[in-house]
Homo-oligomer: A and B are copies of this chain.
Amino acid sequence: MAIGEYVKSADWKSEKHVPVIEIPDSVKPGEAFNVQITVGKEISHPNTIEHHIKWFDLYVMYDDGQFLIHLGHIEFTPVNTQPTAVFNVKLEKSGSLIATSYCNIHGLWESSKRVEF
């Protein structure tokens, strides 16, 4: 049994669980830029104690890399904290950002975003 079989992805315009990754139009190797991650970009997700987005992880996989690099982890608090976050990251090479988000009822979701230098 492998976790990859259970991490869901979908078009975020039709699915409220997908973590949408936004970066500036122009980014440079070795220069820090903001990565905004948001669940419920188009269709908002509930944020109650019974049903909420609990956390995000952010990774990068360099095009010539062998291993995922974990860039950060954020834990939210239901009701008071919304499922969106900004990380400020510095990459050396082109690759793909991967974000995962966890809903306490609907499990693990992911999306990815190219970063090209």
Contact = CB atoms under 8 A, between A and B. Distances in A.
Contact of A67 (B6, B66, B73): B6
Contact of A2 (B7, B49, B75, B80): B7
A77 B71 contact: yes
Given A59-B3, A61-B1, A54 B70 contact: yes
Interface string A79-112: 1111011111111000010101011111110101
Interface residues of A, number: 53
B82 A88 contact: yes
Nearest to A59: B3
A91 B90 CA distance: 32
A98 B72 CA distance: 21
A12 interface: no
Contacts of A32: 82
A50 to B, nearest CB: 6
A89 to B, nearest CB: 5
